[in-house]
Amino acid sequence: MATSNSILYAGAVPKFIDIGKDGNIDLDLCEDEIKKDKSRCLRLIKAIYAVAFSGNILNQKKLQYLRETYDILILEDCCHAIGATEKAIKAGSCANSDVSIFSFHPIKNITTGEGGAITTNSEEIYRKILALRSHGVYRDKTMKPWEYEMRDLGFNYRISDIQCALGLSQLKKLDRFVERRREIAHHYDELFKNSILTPLYSDNTGSSYHIYVVKLDFTKLKINKAQFFSKLREKGVGVQLHYIPINKQPYYRSIGYGSENTPVMDKYYEECFSLPIFPTLSDKEQRYVVNSIFELVSDA
Burial class (CB in 10 A: 0-12, 13-18, 19+), 162: exposed
- Given a cut of 90, whether residue 239 has pLDDT beyond it is yes
Residues 6+ apart with CB under 8 A from 179: none
Q: How many CA atoms lie within 13 A of 163 on its CB side?
A: 16
Is the pTM of the predicted complex or chain greater than 0.75?
A: yes
- Given a cut of 90, whether residue 43 has pLDDT beyond it is no
pLDDT-derived band at 125 (thresholds 50, 70, 90) equals very high
Q: What is the mean pLDDT of residues 212-232?
A: 96
pLDDT at 93: 98
- Given a cut of 80, whether residue 299 has pLDDT beyond it is no
Q: Domains, the chain, ranges and CATH?
A: 2-171 (3.40.640.10), 175-299 (3.90.1150.10)
- Given a cut of 80, whether residue 110 has pLDDT beyond it is yes
pLDDT at 39: 82
- Given a cut of 90, whether residue 40 has pLDDT beyond it is no
pLDDT-derived band at 272 (thresholds 50, 70, 90) equals very high
pLDDT at 38: 84
Cα separations (Å) of 294 from 41, 218, 240, 297? 56, 13, 17, 5
- When the pLDDT of each residue in the chain is averaged and rounded to a whole number, the result is 96
Phi, psi dihedral angles at 74 (to 5 degrees): -120, 125
pLDDT-derived band at 41 (thresholds 50, 70, 90) equals confident
Share of the chain above pLDDT 90, in %: 96
Q: How many CA atoms lie within 13 A of 165 on its CB side?
A: 3
pLDDT-derived band at 300 (thresholds 50, 70, 90) equals low
Q: What is the mean pLDDT of residues 149-154?
A: 96
Q: What is the mean pLDDT of residues 124-151?
A: 95
Q: Is the dihedral of CA 172, 177, 178, 180 positive or negative?
A: positive
